[in-house]
């Protein structure tokens, strides 16, 4: 991650042709994109700009900026960071899944309710993150259509959503035996396979 900053005098001198902070950030994004880099964070007057606040930058005049700092990362570095985050989330999911199975095997179904809700939330988040990651990998040439990695990826994709649907159906039907089997023999195997695929194919 690279950190770059400008003081008011430097901004006025270097970016005199930009009207607003939003225009300047867009200008910088274009410059760094040509270098295969992306802006990951923006600080205006030492305040981090949240994604929800980015539209305000369009109406923020450069004259009001005393200092500007941006965080820049290579596209590959950003993708790597996303992969590491997903692997960490999968490891957290494994813990939840093992705890849930322990409760259910002891017949403590009431105690397992909270963990079940947490598990479903984890899974929906995982699917969303995996879809975003796949698009980034394909767009930047890290996941080729005919590659072995992509074939394994598609196989796991085709297993994940139907397994979650079967899990929810068994849960709603209060079929404890089927639910336990899905948790232990299907879902656990799938998420471990996802972690193995990401680690072996992309983590250096």
Domain boundaries, the chain: 2-74, 77-202
pTM passes above 0.85? no
Residues 155 and 194 sit within 8 Å (Cβ to Cβ): no
pLDDT at 204: 59
Instruction: Kindly state the DSSP code that residue 174 receives in the 8-state scheme.
Output: T
For the chain, the 3-state helix, strand and coil shares in percent, each to the nearest 5, are: 70, 15, 15
Question: Tens of pLDDT along 11-44?
Answer: 989 988 888 888 998 899 888 878 878 888 899 9
3-state secondary structure 58-118: HHCEHHHCCEEEEEEEEHHHHHHHHHHHHHHHHHHHHHHHHHHHHHHHCCCHHHHHHHHHH
CATH ID of 77-202, from 1.10.600, 1.10.10, 1.20.120, 1.10.3470: 1.20.120
Question: Tens of pLDDT along 139-156?
Answer: 777 777 778 888 999 999
């Amino acid at each position: 991650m690279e950190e770059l900053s400008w003081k008011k005098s430097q901004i006025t001198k270097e970016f005199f042709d930009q009207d607003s902070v939003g225009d300047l950030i867009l200008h910088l994004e274009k410059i760094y994109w040509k270098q295969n880099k992306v802006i990951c964070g923006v600080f205006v007057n030492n305040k981090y700009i949240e994604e929800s606040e980015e539209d305000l930058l369009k109406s923020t005049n450069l004259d009001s900026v005393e200092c500007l700092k941006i965080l820049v990362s290579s596209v590959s570095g950003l993708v790597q960071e996303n992969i590491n985050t997903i692997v960490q989330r999968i490891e957290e999911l494994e813990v939840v899944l093992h705890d849930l199975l322990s409760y259910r095997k002891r017949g403590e179904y009431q105690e397992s309710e909270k963990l079940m809700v947490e598990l479903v939330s984890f899974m929906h988040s995982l699917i969303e993150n995996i879809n975003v990651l796949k698009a980034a990998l394909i767009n930047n040439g890290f996941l080729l259509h005919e590659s072995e990695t992509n074939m394994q990826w598609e196989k796991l994709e085709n297993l994940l959503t139907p397994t979650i649907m079967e899990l929810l159906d068994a849960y709603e039907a209060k079929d404890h035996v089927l639910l336990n089997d899905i948790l232990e023999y299907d879902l656990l195997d799938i998420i471990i396979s996802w972690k193995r695929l990401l680690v072996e194919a992309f983590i250096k």
